[in-house]
Amino acid sequence: MRRRLLCTAALAICALASLIAGAAAPAMAAAVAKPRTSLPQVERQVMCVTCKIPLNVAQSPQADRERAFIQSMIDRGQSEAQVKQSLVGQYGASVLGLPANHGFNAAAYLVPLAAVLALAATLLVLLPRWRRRGRAEEGAPPAPDLSPGDAARLESDLARFD
């Protein structure tokens, strides 16, 4: 009976320990998986609204105000997406370094992609033709030799230009 009680207690302790470890694991994983937002990380992705250049290279009073605003949001524990959303609310959409990827602004992403695909398709069509033409020219018969009269006339013309 005593042995059975000890086994039951040991099982209960193991179950409790695994329950505690299981509950703590997601919280620890979330803390490890979610890196803290940093000022340089956000600076590379936003623009100075007066200079119209990336914030990480801008040197102006407005750029300093934007950096202070970003740092205050980071100190409050906001994520990168939340910081960007606050910046857009404060300064407008022109603060973002990249255009939105929907609506008309999607053309900024789609046009270069379409140009690259069109170039690749053109090369796929033309390259075999160019290669066939090159092989056909390699197999062409050589030019005929000049007659003795033509050769003499060519030599005299070339001598005149020397």
63 domain residue, yes or no: yes
137 domain residue, yes or no: no
* Residue whose C-alpha is closest to residue 63's, from 74, 54, 72: 54
* Stronger pLDDT, 157 or 28, i.e. the higher one: 157
What was the pLDDT predicted at 65? 92
What's the rounded Cα separation, in Å, for the pair 89 and 95?
10
Q: Tell me: pLDDT of 5 over 50.
A: no
Number of domains present in the structure of the chain: 3
What was the pLDDT predicted at 6? 46
Over residues 136-162, the pLDDT tens digits come to 777 666 667 889 999 899 899 999 987
DSSP letter at 56 equals T
Terminal C-alpha separation, the chain: 123
State which residues form the domain around 75. Answer: 36-96
Neighbours of 91 (CB within 10 A): 19
**Longest Cα separation, the chain:** 128
pTM exceeding the 0.85 threshold for the entire prediction: no
51 domain residue, yes or no: yes
Q: Are residues 58 and 90 in the same domain?
A: yes
157 domain residue, yes or no: no
Q: Are residues 91 and 52 in the same domain?
A: yes
Cβ proximity of 74 and 37 under 8 Å:
yes
Question: For residue 160, which amino acid is it?
Answer: R
Cβ proximity of 81 and 37 under 8 Å:
no
What's the rounded Cα separation, in Å, for the pair 96 and 43?
10
Q: Are residues 92 and 109 in the same domain?
A: no
Q: Are residues 43 and 85 in the same domain?
A: yes
Q: Where does the pLDDT of residue 72 fall: very low under 50, low under 70, confident under 90, or very high at 90 and above?
A: very high
